[in-house]
Structure 1
Amino acid sequence: MGSQRLSVVVTRRLPEVVETRMKELFDVTLRDPDERMTRDELVAAARGADVLVPCVTDQVDANLLAQVGDKLKLIANYGAGVDHIDVQSARQRGILVSNTPGVVTEDTADMAMALILAVTRRIPEGLAVMQAGTWQGWAPTAFMGGRVGGRRLGILGMGRIGTAVARRAHAFGLQIHYHNRRRLRPEQEEEVEATYWESLDQMVSRMDVISINCPHTPATFHLMNARRLKLMKPTAVIVNTSRGEVIDENALTRMLRTGEIAGAGLDVYEHGKDINPRLRELTNVVLLPHMGSATVEGRVEMGEKVIINIKTFADGHRPPDLVVPGML
């Protein structure tokens, strides 16, 4: 690459300190105003840059990659999940893909725990009554939720985030169960007294709380489909801080409406911001706007990881957070 500064295009506004540092290091084009790029804008951005810095709202698929020409050499994703990028196609075209793993772990696990507490203790219902000014005062049977301690938590996907959720939940007295592609080492299981289930069906049918913590891949699309959701106990709740596509949202909505599932806490949705309106009407559901990783510290650290990946690449080395198709 030599001493010539890399041209970098960023698709969304990033924290100011990140943008400032990028300007110092690279020939960077920042996004203003902070709106999602249209398809044509994204193609143009990818065409004119050595490095593209997209995020979860940008679809970098095979069709787009076919239009970008030879200049683009690195897609330095701002975020851990890369299900919006066709990594295979990128690699075939000699374009490297990097991400920002590990940074969002603790923040996302905090949010999963917050959703578990919010759903089981009916926090939004209490909040709504207070905001409406209709609270009649304390009553012995009002807003009765369930005790969190002693419940069985089934974690779907025991990677970094799933393990961080397990540590928190264990401290709250939940019993930890998990399903994963690979079983953890005995010492990892012992730390949180976790029970491994080879059969996802069997785990789902016995849990009080299900937490989705696996990435979205072709293998995990609708992993929680209508059939599996029906296996859940009617008293159970499901929480998702991972990717919306892992749950069949329409099936979930139907079952929440009919009382076949007791509640849900969702930070992510199957169709991005197009949320099933029937889901929004339910009182036993806590909906958040994909804010699991939204801490000042987390978002700045994500930016720092992006910068390190680009800088390492510019210096002629392999980016530390390189995504290879075999990992997916």
Structure 2
Amino acid sequence: MAKKKILITWPLPEAVMARARESYDVIAHGDDPKITIEEMLETAKSVDAILLTLNEKCPKEVIDRVPENIKCISTFSIGFEHIDLEACKARGIKVGNAPHGVTVATAEIAMLLLLGSARRASEGERMIRTRSWPGWQPLQLVGQRLDGKKLGIYGFGKIGQALAKRARGFDMEIHYYDIYRQPAEKEKEFDAIYHDSLDSLLSVSQFFSINAPSTPQTRGFFNKATIEKLPQGAIVVNTARGDLVNDEDMIAALKSGRLAYAGLDVFLGEPKINEGYYDLPNTFLFPHLGSAAVEARNQMGFEALDNIDAFFAGKEMPFKLA
């Protein structure tokens, strides 16, 4: 029996590619990952399913052009805002994501951003690399410790909880707000304090971690008004989505000292980010490294393949979106 054909739009970890090739006739985009939407749609005419990434933006006008033979799309990401799910439903296209592989890796990056921001790591490294270190001085790059500080986590899903677990290891006091309150035993597990509003959470957050999904309600929520509700000199980290932050307001607050530091792994419009960030010394900036661990990327690929396996077996996708 001939193998089903699938398109994989970007090079993925070898373990993922090897598993895919065992079960399918794989058409991979090759060494040059810059596949265009037109190339994807053209190749889709000769395959049975598509495994894409968050780089392939699929709004309604793209989904409406997907060939009739495609009834399965699986995305190598936890996020799915790059795919119009309603358009997929209208076309009878099943869609799945890869939600679990990113949890620990992203929480580790959030913890690294907290530490790096608190201890001014990027400034210290820059001093070394530019050969401008004058030697040890009592007041040189003095930051602050994490222990005893209040960490506010906005969005207490899997990643927010994984961050809370790690922050507790640094003796931080955990506070959170989410539209869903956790059961009492879960709050006890993290010794976490629930806030019934974002404003309440902001008011106590000496450190503030953004872990919410990108939705019409959350996009741009972190703005001047939000910042004014934080304690003076708060530190903010974002490993969720860049579109949750109003960049101009964040940059103004960092310049004025209203915010002490920001640790950012995601940006609006990435890889082109707001020019104002580049010269700000009080920023710790990463190029979207949240899930960039081999274990995470392998699991993401396996979960994306699990969806395709289930579809061809006539079963429900384990990580179904539409």
TM-score over 0.5 for the alignment?
yes
1:52 match: secondary structure = strand
Change (3 A) 1:142 1:308: same
Determine the structure 2 residue equivalent to 1:49: 47
Quote the sequence identity (%). Answer: 35
CA distance in 2, matches of 1:115, 1:91: 38
Determine the structure 2 residue equivalent to 1:177: 175
Cα offset, 1:4, TM superposition: 4.5
Determine the structure 2 residue equivalent to 1:120: 118
CA distance in 2, matches of 1:172, 1:187: 21
Q: TM-score, normalised by structure 2?
A: 0.96
Q: Is the 8 A contact 2:44 2:66 kept in 1?
A: yes
More divergent stretch after superposition (115-124 vs 251-260) = 251-260
Cα offset, 1:226, TM superposition: 2.6
Q: Are 1:200 and 2:198 counterparts?
A: yes
Instruction: Decide which of 3, 6, 21 is 1:8's aligned counterpart.
Output: 6
Determine the structure 2 residue equivalent to 1:96: 94
CA distance in 1, matches of 2:262, 2:287: 14
CA distance in 2, matches of 1:206, 1:307: 43
Q: TM-score, normalised by structure 1?
A: 0.94
2:259 match: secondary structure = coil
CA distance in 1, matches of 2:140, 2:31: 46
Q: Are 1:137 and 2:166 counterparts?
A: no
1:1-328 to 2 correspondences below 5 Å? 3-324=1-322
CA distance in 2, matches of 1:46, 1:284: 46
CA distance in 2, matches of 1:180, 1:47: 43
CA distance in 1, matches of 2:67, 2:124: 55
CA distance in 2, matches of 1:118, 1:306: 32
Q: Deviations over 1:164-193 (max 9, x none)?
A: 000111111111011101100000001111
1:263 match: secondary structure = strand
CA distance in 2, matches of 1:230, 1:24: 55
Q: Which amino acid aligns with 1:272?
A: E
Q: Is the 8 A contact 1:45 1:52 kept in 2?
A: no
1:80 match: secondary structure = coil
Cα offset, 1:86, TM superposition: 1.0
Q: Deviations over 1:261-290 (max 9, x none)?
A: 111001000112111111111110011010
Cα offset, 1:20, TM superposition: 2.1
Q: Is the 8 A contact 2:100 2:300 kept in 1?
A: no
Structure 1 segments of 4+ aligned residues over 4 angstroms from their partners? none
1:262 match: secondary structure = strand
CA distance in 2, matches of 1:190, 1:252: 33
Ranges in structure 2 where 5+ consecutive residues have no aligned partner? none
Cα offset, 1:34, TM superposition: 3.1
Change (3 A) 1:45 1:272: farther
Q: Is the 8 A contact 2:41 2:67 kept in 1?
A: no
CA distance in 2, matches of 1:226, 1:47: 48
1:146 match: secondary structure = coil
Change (3 A) 1:250 1:47: farther
Q: Which amino acid aligns with 1:28?
A: V
CA distance in 1, matches of 2:224, 2:94: 37
CA distance in 1, matches of 2:2, 2:84: 28
2:167 match: secondary structure = helix
CA distance in 1, matches of 2:97, 2:32: 21
CA distance in 1, matches of 2:311, 2:138: 62
How many residues end up aligned between the 2 structures?
322
CA distance in 2, matches of 1:240, 1:44: 37
Change (3 A) 1:92 1:224: same
Q: Which amino acid aligns with 2:273?
A: I
Q: Which amino acid aligns with 1:220?
A: T
CA distance in 1, matches of 2:4, 2:316: 16
Cα offset, 1:317, TM superposition: 0.7
Q: Which amino acid aligns with 1:217?
A: T
CA distance in 2, matches of 1:256, 1:49: 49
